[in-house]
Amino acid sequence: MLGSARRRCIRFAPAEGCYKFKDRSVAPAAPGESVTDGETALVGVRDVLRRACFGNYRFEEARDAGTPQFATQRVATGLRAPHHGAARGRDVHEQLTVFVNDGRAAWQRRYGMSCSAYVERITTFLASRRLRPVVADFQDFISDAGIGSAIDLVCADEEHCGVCLIELKVGGENYFEKSNAPLNAPASLRHFSNSPRNQALLQLLVYRHMVTSNYPYVPVTRCYVLQARTDTLVLYGLTQPFIDAQSELVRALLDRLRFERARPRGAAARNARAAPPAPAPTLRRGKA
């Protein structure tokens, strides 16, 4: 799995903020050809999930839904502004990737006094459950859909002799399980809410599809969303209804992408919207 030629076919393009695909598994680059020539942009898993499954999610509505939560009941996060949480999440993901892929010494050299306490909390927590991180930020794609992303952590499941996939979420303790509507898709999961927890479980389910389809010789024995809260770490596993909906979810994403790609774009779409309606047919007396 780690040595697969598929890993040479995908890369993240920071300047464009997306994953790029190019088949580099067989033919080497021609003389003078750039390694990026012929690349195509991939759709991010989170982006297409949002459009297909939980485009109806509204943070403010979800946050205020249900029983009102007094300030004294909220978990103190130490954050002064909402965007600080996103920055902290990016920092933890980046540091954890360096720690897992390059080792503790490289992590300490790179970050020094800025080493995040979350990193060792997470790895120690996983070790207590006999999960050993093998690779972080494992990039993969669904070929026939043009979807690409990266799995936060692939761990060796030392208890069940397989691999465990981890989707990491940092923070969100005051709203992670709150929702404002049901999921839009797949149909079999519409009785589940569109909470960030279930959004993350759908994301994890797509990653499970990637590994089980692209690496069928690798047994996927466990899958978790790991929420790193300020005060504790929580695991959310894929329940059987989600696992049973794996193929249905992928079909829903493919259907959404086909629909979007078939729609007129740019000037064609604007012209279609601006075109006057066709005149209604006039019926002559005595004619049906």
Give the bridge partners for 20, in sequence order.
11, 41
Average pLDDT of the chain is 87
87-122 pLDDT tens trace: 888 999 999 999 999 999 999 999 999 999 999 999
Four-CA torsion 145, 149, 155, 161, nearest 10 degrees: 0
Which of residues 185 and 174 earns the better pLDDT score?
185
Give the bridge partners for 220, in sequence order.
163
Tell me what pLDDT residue 78 has: 61
pLDDT above 90 covers what percent of the chain? 68
As a whole number of angstroms, the distance between CA 167 and CA 104 comes to: 21
Nearest to residue 118, comparing CAs of 100, 140, 134, 130? 100
Lowest mean pLDDT: which of 116-125, 222-231, 277-286?
A: 277-286
Per the CB < 8 A criterion, the answer to whether 182 and 194 are in contact is yes
12-34 pLDDT tens trace: 999 999 999 998 776 656 666 67
Per the structure block, which two tokens stand in for 12?
Answer: 């993240």
Handedness of CA 246, 177, 139, 258 (dihedral sign): positive
Q: ∠ at Cα 77 (67, 64), nearest 5°? A: 20
Angle between helices 104-111 and 82-102 (to 10 degrees): 140
Domain boundaries, the chain: 5-66+81-261
**What pTM does this model have?**
0.85
Per the CB < 8 A criterion, the answer to whether 228 and 171 are in contact is yes
> HEC string of 246-265?
HHHHHHHHHHHHHHHHHCCC
Lowest mean pLDDT: which of 33-42, 136-145, 191-200, 245-254?
A: 33-42
Nearest to residue 96, comparing CAs of 143, 67, 133? 133
Tell me what pLDDT residue 188 has: 98
